[in-house]
Structure formats: structure tokens, C-alpha cells
Structure 1
Amino acid sequence: MKYLLLLFCLVTVGAFAQETIDKDEVRSACMDYLEGFYEGDTLKIKRSLQPSLNKLGFWKDKETGKYKSQGYMTFQEAVNYSKGVLEKKKFPKEDASKEVEILDISKTTAAAKVTAWWGTDYVLLSKQGDKWMIEQVLWEGPLEKE
């Protein structure tokens, strides 16, 4: 009986530890994504995004007040955008929003909400091997209150 109780405790602690590790790694991938765009750090962008990235966004037209699709952003376009931030020194304000809320984590998939200066991103991640990376992003901006 003691052996079964010990085994149960070890399995439970192991599962909790893995869940904590996964949560930290998902958060880290999302922060690399955010900071990559904020700082113009292409290494963080490459570390956080799958080469098959599919990112689609909607931006509010100032004249009509309606949201319009900004089209898709590929992995290479994300890298280039980040590079442009650094080259043009077009960094966001110091107090710009930079939040990650983890919505769900499974064995190989996760979902998170990222709040940035440009708006809100819903991020889907996959775990391949032992690394969490962003597969898809659907975003809407700006952050203004309606």
C-alpha cells in the first residue's frame, strides 16, 4: 500500500512539474514573439515562430471605423518586420502593453492571448520534441476602447 501511495505521489508531482515547465515555455515563446517585434530582435522572432507561420490581422480604418484585413504575414515577413524595427529604431513606448495570458495547454498544443501595442493576438502553439513554437496568430488592433 505504501508503495502505491509513493508511486501515486511521484506521478502526480511529475505531472505537475511538467505542466509548470510547459506553462513557462509557452509564456517564454510568446514573450520572445512580443519582444522580437518590440526590440527588433530577429533571433527572438526566429526562436518563437515556426517557419510555416500563418499570421492574419485586422486593423480599424480611421475613416470608416470598420475593420479591414491586413492580409497574411509569413515567417520571413515577420523576421523582416522585426529587422526594420531595429534598423529604423521604431520602438514602442516604454509603457506599451506587453502581456501574455495562457488560455490552454495540452500535450502538444497550446493557446494564448497576447496583448501588445498594436492590439490583441490569439496565438496557437505546437510542441514538437521539447520546444514550444507559435504556429498561427490571429490579431486585431488597435487597442483603443470603443
Structure 2
Amino acid sequence: MKKIIIVLLLLNTTSLFAQSEKDKNKVRRACLNYIDGFYEGDTLKIINSISPSLYKFGYWKNKKTGKYRADGKMTFQQALNYSKGVLKTKKFAPKSAPRKVEILDISNHIASTKITAWWGVDYMLLAREGDKWMIRQVLWEGPLDKKKKKK
């Protein structure tokens, strides 16, 4: 009986690990689609990674004053429009632009990540929607001070 319980526990642990790796890959893919959607002007990547209920808010540094200011909200539609504008004007991000994704936490239905892109840093909250992970909220700051970046 003890052997059966041990085997069942091992199988259950393996299943949980496999599921968490699967979720980790899906969360990472959503974040990379988000970055690449803006970098490449790919609206399909935006649609496949961002929830229509997106709330994105951030702070941008004024080059003249050196002070940060609130940059307002970006909606799902504005994200799509931005992506379309990149494609239309062909102002793609350079190949050397950062595409860093750090997964901070994943639970059953929510996840948190930090991404680093050419515009700065985004902290994102994702929610599981069916079998997909979708970005629901983003708080960002950019561009980063080069001194702080080196840490």
C-alpha cells in the first residue's frame, strides 16, 4: 500500500511540474508576442497576447527636464493602432533591441512578469483565459537611466 501511495504522489508531482512548465512557456510566449507585436508591427501577436480589457499605464522621462511624467492609459485598440503604425511606417525596432522576459510568479489563474524592451520596463499581470495566458494590466517606466541599468 505504501508503494502505491508513493507512486501516486510521484506521478502527481510530475504532472504538476509538467503543467507549470507548460504554463511558464505559455506566459513567456504571451510576453514575447507582446514585445514582438510592437517591434514588428504584428497585430496578430498583439491580439494573441493582450486581453481586450487591457489597462496599460506608465511613466516617460522628458529628455529636456529629466523628469518623469505620467503618460496616460493605453487601451487594447490603441495597442493595435500602435502596432499598425509601426508596420505602416516601417519603423521597426532594431534587431539589437532588448527582448527580456522574467517570470515573477505563476498561480492557477494569474501570473506576473517583468519585461525589458527598447522603451523601458513593463511589469505585467496576466490571466488564464481558457488554455491561453493573456496580458490584462501593464505598468511601465521608460526609458531607463543607463546608470540604473548596469545593476
Residue correspondences, number: 146
- AA at the equivalent of 2:78: E
Shift of 1:128: 2.1
Shift of 1:39: 0.4
- Whether 1:40 aligns to 2:41 is yes
Shift of 1:129: 1.8
Which residue in the other structure is 1:70 paired with? Answer: 71
* Aligned residues of 1:117 and 1:143 also touching (Cα < 8 A): no
Shift of 1:143: 2.7
Q: Aligned partners of 2:49, 2:145: CA distance in 1, in Å?
A: 27
Which residue in the other structure is 1:110 paired with? Answer: 111
- Structure 1 residues without counterparts, runs of 5 or longer: none
Runs of 4 or more, structure 1, over 4 Å off, are: none
SS of match in other structure, 1:96: coil
- Whether 1:61 aligns to 2:62 is yes
Q: Aligned partners of 2:71, 2:145: CA distance in 1, in Å?
A: 18
- Structure 2 residues without counterparts, runs of 5 or longer: none
When the two structures are superposed, what TM-score results if normalisation uses the length of structure 1? 0.97
Shift of 1:63: 1.6
Deviations 1:26-74 (A, max 9, x none): 0000000000000000000000000000000111011211101111000
CA RMSD in angstroms comes to 0.8
Q: Identify which range, 121-130 or 31-40, moves more after superposition.
A: 121-130
Q: Aligned partners of 1:29, 1:63: CA distance in 2, in Å?
A: 35
- AA at the equivalent of 2:63: K
| Superposition pairs of residues 7-26 of structure 1, within 5 angstroms | 7-26=8-27
SS of match in other structure, 1:14: helix
- AA at the equivalent of 2:135: I
Q: Aligned partners of 1:93, 1:134: CA distance in 2, in Å?
A: 24
Q: Aligned partners of 2:28, 2:63: CA distance in 1, in Å?
A: 33
When the two structures are superposed, what TM-score results if normalisation uses the length of structure 2? 0.94
Q: Aligned partners of 1:93, 1:18: CA distance in 2, in Å?
A: 35
